[in-house]
Chain A
Amino acid sequence: MARIDISELSKDFGNVRALDGVTLSLDKGRIVGLLGPNGSGKTTLIKILNGLLVPTSGSVEINGIAPGVETKKKVAYLPDRNALPAYMTSDQLVELYSDFFYDFDAAKADAMIDDLGINRSQTMQKMSKGTKEKLQLCLVMARQADVYLLDEPIGGVDPATRDYILRTIISNYNEDGIVIISTHLISDIESVLDNVVFLKEGRVVLEGPADDIREKEGKSIDELFREVFRC
């Protein structure tokens, strides 16, 4: 059963505290919005969950295990940049994912790539920014992972692509898993979220089921976000 436990997690970059005592527990079957403005600590938290950053203090566990080789078998990560080798084609990337991730469904990835009409012989470096993002998302969502960590999956793409990306997430994630979507584009994503976590200056300022928060506050998550993070 997928579960994430974060306890008193802090991360410093020199004199700057990026995360400050974050404590969270997330259970399976939820799509969680990790929401906050730029610099609030969203990407830092996701990187720590992936083992790409070492925390200054506190702990993180995925299914009871600290980030490492075992958790990486179960975590699918979409970074906020193109991390795949630019000289590879989509076919080569499908083979790459098949080689390293046992939960990767190559047929599912192929179907999504065909849906998008991506040229299979074109290398990543020749693709548009939006196509690269869609291809990376196809590869990530074609895994039957316990945890999906999607860092800004809809940032910098056109509205039609945003719709495609959100549909892809909803229709492909493992329903026994957890999906964490980090973004500051709340209105586009609000409808798919089960839970929300507001991060402000490295601290959790609001957390809970999206419906409960909407009912309690009498406003949408997007409206609440604008209120909490008003400049």
Chain B
Amino acid sequence: MLGKLLKYELPAMGRKLLPLYVAWLAASILLGFGVRGFESESDLLPVLTILLYVAVTVAVFVMSIILIIQRYRTSMLGDEAYFNMVLPVSMNEHIANKGLSALIWMSISAVASFISIFLILLCSGALFDVLPDFLAGIREMIAELGPEWVLVIVEIFLLGILSSAKSILAIYAAITIGHQAKDHTTLASIGAYIGLSMAETAVGNILVQIGMIVNLGFDDFITYMMAHNFLSAQLIFLILFIVAAALVTAYFFICKYFMERKLNLN
């Protein structure tokens, strides 16, 4: 049934996001050509294209987050829940459907951002100036990392997916907990999100204090890997992976518990 749920959930998000992506890529092309205007000392048009690009980019990211929240609220706890929650589908599949859809659209956003940068560089005529430096940078990084660079890329990719899944499920868990409130469910959800974030930080701090480095971001992770031997870097990756997976599992089961045991559609 998960496949059938995805069949409807992915287009439900796509119908709002796809037009924005098209606008984003169009704004990228305009910005690319607008940047050329600086060279011809025509100021207004380039500034306008920059403003347009920034506005559309912000709109894409804000809309993505709003949609992730809205889709969960509407179809799991709002009016559409009166249809969705009577489908012969397990709660595991319902939550997985929402999480996977959000993750897929976040991944598409990431791909679109790369395409956007490519289009800006291409249309501004800077692509062939930047490309050699970019490729040289990559070659340098591969040389630093050694032959294990493929493994490193895969690990970073997996950690990125897990971190995104964790962020999405944390939002879902906060919404589900907030919906237990009699009134002001939005405020309660924001409160729950702050509470969960604080709990997450507290657990992280405790782990750090007992000698485990869990708060490394990607930059720190790469720096650390470059500065230390490969095995210790792998150990850090393993710890990050376990912590992220544990948080994904915890948030998933918070959603499942409240949806199965405390659901009160009103």
Contacts and interface: CB of A to CB of B under 8 A. Distances in A.
Interface string B73-87: 000000111111111
Interface of B: 1, 4, 7-8, 12, 15, 79-90, 182, 261-266
Contacts, number: 62
Contacts of B7: 99
Contacts of A13: 182, 264, 266
Nearest to A52: B265
Contacts of B4: 99-100
B3 to A, nearest CB: 10
A52 B86 contact: yes
Given A83-B80, A85-B12, A87-B15, A73 B88 contact: yes
Contacts of A99: 4, 7
A71 to B, nearest CB: 9
A54 interface: yes
A83 B87 contact: no
Chain B contact residues: helix, strand, loop or mixed: loop
A31 B119 CA distance: 64
A100 B81 contact: no
5 contacts: A69-B88, A77-B86, A81-B82, A85-B12, A101-B88
A84 B263 CA distance: 19
Contacts of B264: 13, 53-54
Contact of B263 (A54, A79, A81): A54
Best-buried of A13, A72, A85, A96 by chain B (most CB within 10 Å): A85
A144 B266 CA distance: 28
A75 interface: yes
Contacts of A81: 79, 82
Contacts of A50: 85-86
A70 B86 CA distance: 11
A87 B178 CA distance: 27
Contact of B89 (A53, A77, A100): A100
Nearest to A70: B88
B151 to A, nearest CB: 41
A14 interface: yes
